[in-house]
Amino acid sequence: MSKLYQPIQIGAVRLDHRIVQAPLTRLRSEQPGDVPSAMMVKYYAQRASKGGLQIAEATPVSVQGRGYLGAPGIYNDAQVEGWRKVVDAVHAKGGIIFLQLWHVGRQSHVSLTGGAAPLAPSAIPVQDLVYTRDGWVKTSPSRALETVEIKEIVEQFRQGAIRAKAAGFDGVEIHGANGYLIDQFLQDGSNKRTDIYGGSIENRTLFLLEVTEAVTSVWGGERVGVRLGPSGTFGSMSDSNPDALFGHAAAQLNRFGLAYLHLIEPRIDGSKLRADGLPPVAAHQLRRVFKGPIIAAGGFERDSAEAMVESGDADLVAFGRHFAANPDLVERLRRNLTLSPHDRDTFYGGDERGYTDYPCHDDLAEVA
C-alpha cells in the first residue's frame, strides 16, 4: 500500500492518511455578514474522512482583508458561531479541520473593503479581477501601507487565530500564497518599500514572520501551517530571485516548529520554465531547507500523488479541484475508483449545484 494511505503525525495532529483537502474559495457564505452557511456545513461534512485533514477555504481576518463577495470571515462572533457548526460536523465524522487565515491586500475592490482603498506593500497598479456584487470587476487602485499600519494587520491575524480557536478548529493555516497580502510583501514585483519591510529578502520576509509569530503565539507552532506559492503568477506576481527568496522564507519558518509547510507546486502549468529559463521553485528544493512536514499541492492525480510521497519530496498531498467534485475522494483514491469531473462554472458562488450535489461513488454505482 502506498504511503499516501498511511498515517502520519504533523505537529500536534495525528492523521490516518496523507490526502488533504486543499483550501477552496467557493463564495457561499450567508450574505450580508460573511457567516458560514448551512450549505457550507454540509459541504465540509461530505468531504470529511476519518483522520483526514481539510483546510477550510481562505477566510479574511478583517473587513479590509476581503476580496471576494461570499467568502466567509473570521472577524466577528457571528462568524465564529457559523464556523463552529462546520467544525462540529467535520469532527462528528472523525475529520480534522484547519482554517486558512487570509488578507487579500491589493486584490480587492472598494465595494468590499467598506469604501477604503485596498492595502498593499506598494501602490502598484494591477489589472486583476475580484468578485463583487456586480460580478467580476477590476481591482480598485491600492494604497501603500504606512509602517505603523503593518502591525495592525499582524494583530488582525492574531485575532483571527484566537477566533478560529474559539470556533473549535484543530489548527490554522496562514495564507502566504497566490498573490495576496503576505505574498505581495514577499515578492519584489509587488514590494518596492524602502522601510524595514522592503528591499532585501530578509526585509520582505519580515511580514510573513511577524504574522507567523503572532499566530503561533495563539496556537503554538505545532497547530499552525504556512502556505506558500513560489511559482504562482496569479495576481500579477513576480520575483527577481524566487529560489533565494523562498529558500530564505522556508529556512526562517523552521524557528516556529510548524505543523507543516504547504507548497503549491508548479505542476499546474506542466513543466513550464520561468522567464530566466530555470525550473520554478518546487517542493524538492525546499525539502532540503524546511525541517518539518511538507504538503504539496497543484495538479496532482492518484499516481503522481503516490509517487510524490514515495519520493519523499513531500509527506502529504493536497487536492483542490478533485475534492470539489468528489466528496468521497479519499475512498476513491484508496480503491482506485473513477473520479467525477469538476464543473468550473459552479466554483464561485451560487447554490447547492456544483457544491453539495456531487455524488459519492457508491451512489453512482447504485444508479448504474
Q: How many residues sit in the footprint of ligand FMN (CB under 6 A)?
A: 22
How many Cα atoms are found within 13 Å in the side-chain-facing hemisphere of 182?
A: 29
> CA dist 81 to 35, 38, 112, 178, 190, Å?
8, 12, 22, 28, 36
- The answer for residues whose C-beta is within 8 angstroms of residue 109's C-beta and 6 or more apart is 67, 118, 130, 132, 137, 138, 139, 140
Q: How far is the CB of 359 from ligand FMN (least distance, A)?
A: 19
Q: Are 226 and 255 in contact (CB under 8 A)?
A: no
Q: Which residue's CB is nearer to ligand FMN, number 132 or number 178?
A: 178
* Nearest-5° Cα angle at 315, 313 to 318: 105
Can you tell me which of 103, 321, 332, 361 binds ligand FMN, judged by CB under 6 A?
A: 321
Q: Are 52 and 16 in contact (CB under 8 A)?
A: yes
Can you tell me which of 4, 8, 13, 22 binds ligand FMN, judged by CB under 6 A?
A: 22
Catalytic residue, candidates 68, 180, 260, 355: 180
Among 163, 253, 252, 258, CA closest to 220 = 258
Interface with ligand FMN, residue 103, by CB under 6 A? no
Give the contact letters, 57-76, x = binds to ligand FMN (CB under 6 A), - = no.
Answer: xx------------------
260 is catalytic: no
Q: Are 132 and 109 in contact (CB under 8 A)?
A: yes
Can you tell me which of 66, 103, 163, 175 binds ligand FMN, judged by CB under 6 A?
A: 175
Can you tell me which of 82, 225, 242, 320 binds ligand FMN, judged by CB under 6 A?
A: 320
d(CA 321, CA 364): 19
Q: How many other C-beta atoms are found inside a 10 Å radius of the C-beta of residue 81?
A: 13
Q: Nearest to ligand FMN by Cβ — which residue?
A: 320
| DSSP SS3 for 175 | strand
| DSSP SS3 for 235 | coil
Can you tell me which of 20, 41, 145, 177 binds ligand FMN, judged by CB under 6 A?
A: 177
Interface with ligand FMN, residue 178, by CB under 6 A? yes
Q: How far is the CB of 225 from ligand FMN (least distance, A)?
A: 11
Q: How far is the CB of 77 from ligand FMN (least distance, A)?
A: 23
Can you tell me which of 123, 268, 289, 360 binds ligand FMN, judged by CB under 6 A?
A: 268
Tell me 84's DSSP state. H
Interface with ligand FMN, residue 264, by CB under 6 A? yes
Residue length of the chain? 368
Q: Which residue's CB is nearer to ligand FMN, number 276 or number 345?
A: 345
Near ligand FMN in 278-297, by CB under 6 A: 297
Buried b (16+ CB within 10 A) or exposed e, 331-364: ebbbeebebbebeeebbbbeeeebbbebebbeee
- Kind plus residue range of the DSSP H or E element containing 225: strand 224-228
Q: Which residue's CB is nearer to ligand FMN, number 173 or number 239?
A: 173
Near ligand FMN in 332-351, by CB under 6 A: 347
Near ligand FMN in 217-256, by CB under 6 A: 227
Interface with ligand FMN, residue 181, by CB under 6 A? no
Q: Which residue's CB is nearer to ligand FMN, number 13 or number 329?
A: 329
Among 293, 220, 212, CA closest to 253 = 212
Interface with ligand FMN, residue 258, by CB under 6 A? no
Q: How far is the CB of 128 from ligand FMN (least distance, A)?
A: 15
Residues recognised as catalytic: 180
- Site for ligand FMN, rule CB under 6 A: 22-25, 57-58, 100, 175, 177-178, 227, 264, 268, 297-300, 319-322, 347
